[in-house]
Structure 1
Amino acid sequence: MELLLETVALFCLKLAYETEDSSPILRDDPIMSDYEREVFGLLVRRGDIEGIQFRVAHCIGLALEALDGVNTPMGRELRRLSADFSAAQRMAQLDTPLIALKNYLKDIQ
């Protein structure tokens, strides 16, 4: 799960900050420091679902801004997918919406 969480964060930050004329954002970039696999791993081991959702929501918010908010079709779909993730109340409920988020963010890169 930690790798999936890191991947979702990475794809969100790429949408928000990466430009065509700049070098790509990678997993070891300083911008990823709060969203590294180890950080998510600690939250997962603690069972801190609110902490995980908070971090992912922050990244989703940045991606939504890059997509011009929920007034666009891509923004609405991202909001819908993130709502499914935010609605999870147990760790086991995070997997399916997290995979959907990852796949969607990958597709719109």
Structure 2
Amino acid sequence: MELLLETVALYSLKLAYETEGHSPILRDDPLMGGCDREVFGLLVRRGDVAGIQDEIGRCLNLALGAVGGPDTVLGTELQRLTAEFHTAQTTEQLQAPLSALKNYLKDIL
């Protein structure tokens, strides 16, 4: 689960900040901030679904801005997937919406 969380955060930040002709954003980039595997691992072990949703939500908001906001075709779908992610009550329920977000973000990168 930690790797999946880190991947969603990374793809979101890539979408928001990575520019053509510059170095790519990597997992150890300072932009990742607290969105790394160890932080997510701690949140998962604690069962802190709200903490996970807050960290990933921050990254997804940046991605939403990068695709032009909620009124664009890409933004509408991203917002729908994000809403599904935020309805999860347990870490197990996060798995499916996270996978959908990861696949979607990867496709639009």
TM-score (norm 2): 0.98
Opposite residue 26 of structure 1, the aligned amino acid is L
Question: Deviation string for 1:77-108 (max 9, x for gaps)?
Answer: 00000100000011110000000000000000
Deviation at 1:33, TM superposition (A): 2.5
SS in 2 for 1:70: coil
What's the CA shift for 1:47?
A: 0.5
Q: Which runs of 5+ in 1 are unaligned?
A: none
Q: TM-score, normalised by structure 1?
A: 0.98
Moved over 2 A (4+): none
Quote the Cα distance in structure 2 between the aligned partners of 1:48 and 1:13.
Answer: 22
Identity of aligned residues (%): 65
Counterpart secondary structure, 1:45: helix
What is aligned with 1:80?
Answer: 80
Distance 1:63 1:55 in 2: 13
Q: Tell me how far apart the structure 2 counterparts of residues 33 and 65 of structure 1 sit (CA, whole Å).
A: 19
Structure 2 distance, partners of 1:8, 1:90, is 18
What number of residue pairs does the alignment pair up? 109
